[in-house]
Structure 1
Amino acid sequence: MRGAAAGVVLLAAVLVSGCSAGQSQELKAGSGPAGGSKVDERAWPARTPVSGLTKGMVLPIEGYLISYPETVAWQRAQQSLWKRCMQRYGFTSFDPPEPGMFPPPGYDDANMARRYGISDSKEAARYGYHLPGGMGEPPVWEPGEGAERAVFSGSGVQVRSGSYKGEKVPENGCQGEVKGKLGRISYALASKVEFASLEESRNVPAVRSAVAVWSSCMKSHGYRAEHPYKAPDLISTLGSENPSAAETALAVADVGCKKTSRLVDVWFGAEEKIQKRRIEENQLALDEERKKNDAVLKTASRANDY
């Protein structure tokens, strides 16, 4: 989350992955809003794609990334601790937007369903290259002006000599206090491996060959595109609310040619081998990174159970 002065975005797209064996922050499939919550977890992405050419595919690095349910659990704990801190100073109406209302298209940063371009023919026919369901943007939130912002951030005219109305304010305010208590999720190394493997796999001969077959197939349908990532450039309706007929026709051809060329299977297989090698090369550091994140999530779980 961004600092208070710049606004705080309730992140929707920490496109994250499978939990480690010891993690309990799993997606509760089928659970709708509970109590006064506005969050419908049924709208959250599944752990693995449930349809299309990437159905059931899981890359090795996903066990080291952070899943969307884990991200939401951490955000909920952060907000809970924020509120408790702010209430100590009389801000009982301090109420940031609830996490989990604006889910990303994928369960993790690998975003398997669209990692190699769109891959589901039914979605392509209905949405083209648009995201299914018209997913909204996460809200940008900032604390209230004046004293609320000052106590939250720890700076402002209302906080004098480190105190607010005679009560000492933590360094960097309630935001700083919670950061110290909760810690932050960081998976920079896992993300680096995830990104690097995708880039490296693009140059694997078998992948390049499959892309060429895909491109030839697209040409037979009347479309000239050298690579699946460039296919959306052939239409101009991505910024519109709904896809055009031309967009859906292109998208259907795109997925059909991926199936004919076996591009997704070939690319996934190539990237899987690369990731296994890169994980082995960075095993100790990746394990340590995941261990630290598991500790943060354990702290978050205790805060949410409070």
Structure 2
Amino acid sequence: MRKLLPLALTGLLAVSACQFAGDDADDADGGAHRLNTMKALPLQAYIPDPTSRDAKAVGEAQWILAKQCMVRLGFSGFKSLDIRTVESTYPVREGTVTSSIKVGDDSPYGVDDPDLAAEHGYHNRQQGSGDQPREWAADQYTALTGVFEAGDSHQAHGNPIPKGGCTGEATRKIFGPDPKPVKVGAVKLSGYYSIAMELWYEAHKQAAKDPAWKKADRAWSDCMKHKGLHYPDPDAASTDTDWYGTDEPSGKEKKTAAADARCKLDTGYIQAAHAVETRAQKTAIARNKKALDDRRAAVERAMANARKIIDDAS
């Protein structure tokens, strides 16, 4: 844990020492912040950035094709649909109660800024672009998604709804046949980035068993105990059920999150965990290089297909 200079020190020596200590602390903290991002891990290279221009082009192309499909199925109103109002969203069935999980964030190791954590607790999840999913009438929703409830017809105006609905058909036209589903934890994934996500899950599970990771957990937990907080690891703190079900963080949550972030920085937790996970991911990539490269090439072709679809529709 970083040592603080005695307050009794005076004069130029004390000032200089504090400045150097501050510079070291800032460098260490900055290094932790830089490592606590998804893009700092090797497998991220195989998962496209959803905010990139190419990824957004895929969303636009999917809606162009889905719109054409819906018109073909007899939904004439879709001829005038402005896809700019929906291209970043996935359809929601009318009357469905939607909720957003406000606890958590998009970093691999959780909170790492004590000041921010003291203000927001664990309620620091980054929201999307602000686009709200549009609600569709039941018949339109089933035609768009191919998701049916009891009593829903599998036809639209006498026309069979394609597998996965019009959005599923559009995705296949852009990406090609659906990839083989894989199981990630308790969830079955069939997306085009499922290989990378499966490997990420397995690498993380393996890394968490590494003695170096366990040592980092213990150091962090001991630091928290000194602050009167008892958790075995950062995941246990951030997923405490007391934090869920509220829009705003409680005082206890803020205190815990701030201590969590401070202990990560003081014990070098993020640097230690990142080093272990990076090794595990590099091993996974080396063992599955051809499958990953083939999938990445397929995604690049899909993005080229998306740009052509957009150009043809212009």
Q: Flag whether TM exceeds 0.5 (same fold).
A: yes
Q: Does 1:202 align with 2:194?
A: no
Of 65, 84, 97, 2:68 maps to 84
CA contact (8 A) 2:89 2:134 kept: no
For 1:66, the equivalent position in structure 2 comes to: 48
Fraction of identical pairs, as percent: 25
CA distance in 1, matches of 2:31, 2:125: 13
How many angstroms does 1:150 deviate by? Answer: 7.8
Structure 1 residues 67 and 228, CA, compared in 2 at 3 Å: closer, same or farther?
same
SS in 2 for 1:242: coil
Q: 1:198 to 1:302 in 2, by over 3 A?
A: same
- Unpaired runs of 5+ in structure 1? 1-49, 106-110, 163-168
| Counterpart code for 1:98 | V
Shift in Å, 1:251: 0.4
Deviations 1:199-257 (A, max 9, x none): 11111111111110110000000000011100135562332111112211110100101
Correspondence 1:125 to 2:118: yes
Larger radius of gyration: 2
Shift of 1:286: 0.7
Contact 1:235 1:247 in 2 (8 A): no
Q: Distance in 2 between matches of 1:158 and 1:83?
A: 16
2:243 aligns to what SS in structure 1?
Answer: coil
Instruction: Output one character per residue of 1:40-68: Cα deviation in whole Å (capped at 9) or x when no partner.
Output: xxxxxxxxxx9783325511111111221
Q: Secondary structure at 2:34's aligned position in 1?
A: coil
Distance 2:279 2:252 in 1: 37
Q: Does 1:53 align with 2:68?
A: no
Q: 2 CA distance for matches of 1:219 and 1:208?
A: 16
CA contact (8 A) 1:74 1:300 kept: yes
Shift, 1:126, TM fit: 1.9
Contact 2:155-2:161 within 8 A present in 1 as well: no
Amino acid at match of 1:65: I
Structure 1 residue 262: Cα displacement? 0.4
Identify the match of residue 183 of structure 1 among 171, 175, 182.
Answer: 175
Q: Which amino acid aligns with 1:181?
A: K
Higher helix share: 2
Matches within 5 A, 1:147-186: 155-156=154-155, 158-159=157-158, 162=159, 174-175=166-167, 177-183=169-175, 186=192
Task: Deviation per CA, 1:29-87: give whole Å up to 9, x if none.
Answer: xxxxxxxxxxxxxxxxxxxxx97833255111111112212544322211122223434
- Asked if residue 246 in structure 1 is aligned to residue 245 in structure 2, the reply is no
Asked if the contact 1:83/1:95 (under 8 Å) is kept, the reply is no
Q: Give the drift of 1:98.
A: 2.2
Quote how far apart the aligned CAs of 1:196 are.
1.2
In structure 2, the gaps of 5 or more residues are: 1-28, 91-99, 147-152, 177-190
Partners in 1 of 2:292 and 2:121 — Cα distance?
Answer: 37
* 1:273 paired residue among 275, 279, 294: 279
**Aligned residues, how many?**
242
Residue 220, structure 1, aligned to residue 226, structure 2: yes
| TM superposition shift of 1:144 | 3.5
Given the superposition, is the C-alpha separation of residues 128 and 52 from structure 1 closer, same or farther in structure 2, using an over 3 Å criterion?
A: farther
Q: Which amino acid aligns with 2:86?
A: E
